[in-house]
Structure 1
Amino acid sequence: MRYLAPLIAAALLAPQAADAHPHVFVQAGVDIVFDRKGRLTHIKVTWGYDAFYSLLIAEDKGLDKDGDGTLTKREERKLAGFDAKWAPGFNGDLVAKLDGQPLKLSGPMKSTATMVNGQIVSTHIREVTGNPLVGGDTLSVQAFDESYYTSYELTLPVRLVGNGQCAIRRVEPDIDNELAQMEAMLLSIDADADLEEMDIPMLGEAFATEILVSCPST
């Protein structure tokens, strides 16, 4: 049973509470891949993990025993795919929409992993079902954990591959406004309310940068 008091306390401490809530911090990047006909075929995802989480993973798997912050090729092969064993139904913390309609993505493929200055960087590829044409519509891509247990920041490159006519626009979240709305909503609820019976919004999407891709009509 979850009750309101802890969430009200978190809201009242904003924005500090929002900064402290995530347990894993990831620098993310995406390559949006088109074929020669301008169809969206794949999205390649890059995750760069924070130093502390990287250390935990390396210790758990017995990697980087010399502590130099890099991996051997053998260690890279051992690490590859460590974050690509997903439970059924997991969306990979990636949401892609075309003209507002969700796109279906495959599970992770061709996973890689390395370590750069003590931080683990992994990649995987998601195939886009149906390979839709983007021309004339807007493609939206967001990386977020709905529960905000993991914080994703799109600080790594966001690139278009195979279609030089398309343009990228970033829409950054208004975190202060989102926190203010959450605080106001929480303070309007009775303190004894059972949140499991209420539609309490999750913070992950509200804090996520949105990548908008537009392409000329063909």
Structure 2
Amino acid sequence: MILRARSTFLASVATALLLSTVPAQVHPHVFAEARLDIVLNADGKTVKSLRHLWRFDDLFSSTVLMEFDKNSDLKLDDAELQEVSQTVFDSIGEFNYFQIVTEGGKDVAMKPPAQLMANYDKDQLIILFESEPKDPLKLTDKVTFGVYDPTFYTAIEFLEDDNMKVDSLPAACSQAVVRPDPDEAIAQNQSSLTDAFFNDPAGTDMSKIFATRLEVTCKAEG
């Protein structure tokens, strides 16, 4: 998550877990197992929404419990979960909710999710939300979907390829999960990486080159 201001989620729940001021030591402190389902419209050709599910590690989840369990009953009731939801919503909004979508290599604008839901199950915090493209997004040529934290604080992990997919993929399309090797990603993007990236990777938007992504390629009609 993001440690930046009082409004940020981790600043609220884990102030003791401050990021190092030495850029070389920037690394994930929070881990989440994720699922991403791409839902198509009835036409089977355009993207309706992205459905996200993140299940956080036990350590971070317990930190959230301690911070938001106002009545100290060792669980999060509906009101407490709503506060968690709103805090997360406010925290990651400026980072496009940790999602990136591209069409033909160009970024696709996404609408903010209407709401974000939090749950606490088996000692783990679960976050769910759904977002939609701002403009119609057709599956043509190559479209990619990825999830990443540009601050490097949170590792969003897709443990199985099947946890990142397009539901009811058209026959003319193929999908593949890509898990970049960090060294190869840097080598392949060397020309576009600036000194700012190497001095402070969390201060740029280039961390997306390390993100696990789903690549969808479709053949032209006709």
Identity of aligned residues (%): 20
Equivalent pair of 1:40/1:133 in contact (CA under 8 Å): yes
Equivalent pair of 2:46/2:138 in contact (CA under 8 Å): yes
Inter-partner Cα distance in structure 2 for 1:111 and 1:169:
27
Question: What does residue 125 of structure 1 align with?
Answer: 130
Cα distance change on mapping 1:79 and 1:208 into 2, 3 Å: same
Equivalent pair of 1:35/1:162 in contact (CA under 8 Å): no
State whether structure 2 residue 217 is matched by structure 1 residue 214: yes
The one-letter amino acid paired with 1:200 is F
Question: What does residue 99 of structure 1 align with?
Answer: 104
- In the TM superposition, what is the alpha-carbon distance from 1:161 to its structure 2 partner? 2.9
List aligned pairs for 1:36-115, cutoff 5 A.
Answer: 36-37=42-43, 38-62=45-69, 65-67=72-74, 76-77=81-82, 79-86=84-91, 89-115=94-120
Q: How many residues align?
A: 186
Out of 192, 197, 201, the position equivalent to 1:200 is 197
- In the TM superposition, what is the alpha-carbon distance from 1:176 to its structure 2 partner? 4.6
Using the size of structure 1 for normalisation, the TM-score is 0.71
List aligned pairs for 1:180-195, cutoff 5 A.
Answer: none
The structure with more radius of gyration: 1
Inter-partner Cα distance in structure 1 for 2:82 and 2:164:
25
Equivalent pair of 2:93/2:112 in contact (CA under 8 Å): no
Out of 134, 141, 144, the position equivalent to 1:140 is 144
Asked which structure has the greater RCO (Cα within 8 Å, sep 6+), the reply is 1
3-state SS of 2:149 partner: coil
Say what the alpha-carbon RMSD is for the aligned residues. 3.1
Question: What does residue 190 of structure 1 align with?
Answer: none
Unaligned runs of 5+ in 1: 11-16, 185-196
The one-letter amino acid paired with 2:176 is R
Out of 143, 147, 153, the position equivalent to 1:149 is 153
Unaligned runs of 5+ in 2: 1-20
Equivalent pair of 2:92/2:98 in contact (CA under 8 Å): no
Give CA deviations for 1:120-153 in whole Å, capped at 9, x if unaligned.
1111111101122113x11111111223122211
The one-letter amino acid paired with 1:22 is P
Inter-partner Cα distance in structure 1 for 2:70 and 2:61:
10
Equivalent pair of 1:79/1:114 in contact (CA under 8 Å): no
Inter-partner Cα distance in structure 2 for 1:81 and 1:215:
37
3-state SS of 1:47 partner: strand
Equivalent pair of 1:27/1:47 in contact (CA under 8 Å): yes
